Structure 1
């Protein structure tokens, strides 16, 4: 949620109070909300997050809109072992031996990918290893356990397709236009076009 819009930096992410960031890279004009926890991820241009978001082992592409309390790429415990608890694979904090680096490294390599211009509603969970296609909408409270096709609207637990945002023809045209890859100059030049009806936008830029 934005109460006041701040002028964002091209070169440095705007990071809210209390956020903790580790092993993460940022693109231009990125805004991270307060009390976010982000690890081993890449967050690309113009993407923003709300408050209390958790992101692990993930690639977030451009122009993603993320509400508060979203969880992306939560790591799994080894439920096929005698103990699921962290002490059994990373127990230094409890005074046990060396961490199970093989297990931890494999877990980090399970990447979650959020496409361009995706909107993630309040309290969404996207499980690890999932890919969400460009232009998708994930409704508040949804738990996404399967890959999501571009320009579809998903809701529920587990997340299921509610409907398409656009016709197949328009979806194909938008993927070809790929406006999220435009230069800053083109974004400024055609800025007003983003307020056009979708049919007019596609006709002009196809």
Structure 2
């Protein structure tokens, strides 16, 4: 659960008790809940996780909201081999000193990507190598096994589209506006606009785009 009243740091992530972080970089105003395990990932500006999150080999973009017990990019075992147990490909802990470096490297390079302004509900699993589009919603308990289009609401096991958040023209316009790429100054100037009805927000900020698609306000 995100704690609204915590004053977050711009330059250092706020990391909850008991979390373990390896080979991971953070953007601004990032909040990591308690008892998270995060490895070989990037987590961009304003993204937060709930408690007991598990994130591996993933790229998390901006303004992502995560409930508790979310798992992103779980690594797979080689089930097509004689043994799928870890001893057979990374058995150092068991006294076997010839890890399968090619398999381990390929697993780390298989990236899971979560787009901007995505909401991941309680106990969601997003499988390794999946791409979740900007603005998507993943309902509680869903297991995502296929790529998710922007602004789509997904639910179930395996996860399936339930409906779109907005009509196609609104989705297209929001992707053009890409408010998640605004500077901090732009966010502050336009902060109250995020409470406007969606069509008013889109109309206003489409008008503010210059010929290069950059917001001028």
TM-score by length of 1: 0.99
- Give me the whole-angstrom Cα distance separating, in 2, the residues matched to 1:169 and 1:71: 32
5+ long unaligned stretches in structure 2:
207-217
| CA-CA distance at 1:5 after TM superposition | 2.4
| Contact 2:2/2:49 (8 A) holds in 1 | no
Question: Counterpart of 2:213?
Answer: none
Give the deviation of 1:2 after TM superposition: 2.9
1:68 equivalent in structure 2: 68
Q: Residue in 1 aligned with 2:145?
A: 145
Q: Is 1:30 aligned to residue 30 of structure 2?
A: yes
Partner of 2:186: 186
Change (3 A) 1:33 1:161: same
Q: How many residues align?
A: 206
In 1, are the aligned partners of 2:91 and 2:99 still within 8 Å (CA)? yes
Residue 89 of structure 1 aligns to a residue whose secondary structure is helix
Q: Deviations over 1:107-146 (max 9, x none)?
A: 1010000000000000000000000000000000000000
- SS of the aligned residue for 2:90 comes to coil
Partners in 2 of 1:11 and 1:123 — Cα distance? 29
Normalising by structure 2, report the TM-score.
0.94
Structure 1 ranges of 4+ moved more than 4 A: none
Match runs of 1:65-104 below 5 Å: 65-104=65-104
Does the 8 Å CA contact 2:125/2:144 hold for their aligned counterparts? yes
Q: CA-atom RMSD, angstroms?
A: 0.7
Distance, in Å, in 2 between the alignment partners of 1:107 and 1:188 is: 40
1:40 corresponding residue in structure 2? 40
Which residues of structure 1 form unaligned runs of 5+? none
Q: CA deviation at 1:3?
A: 4.4
Aligned to 1:5, the other structure's residue is in SS state: coil
TM-fit CA distance, 1:95? 1.1
| Whole-angstrom CA distance in 1 between matches of 2:167 and 2:100 | 48
- Match for residue 199 of structure 2? 199
CA distance in structure 1 between the partners assigned to 2:110 and 2:193 by the alignment: 38
Q: Tell me the CA shift for residue 97 of structure 1.
A: 1.9
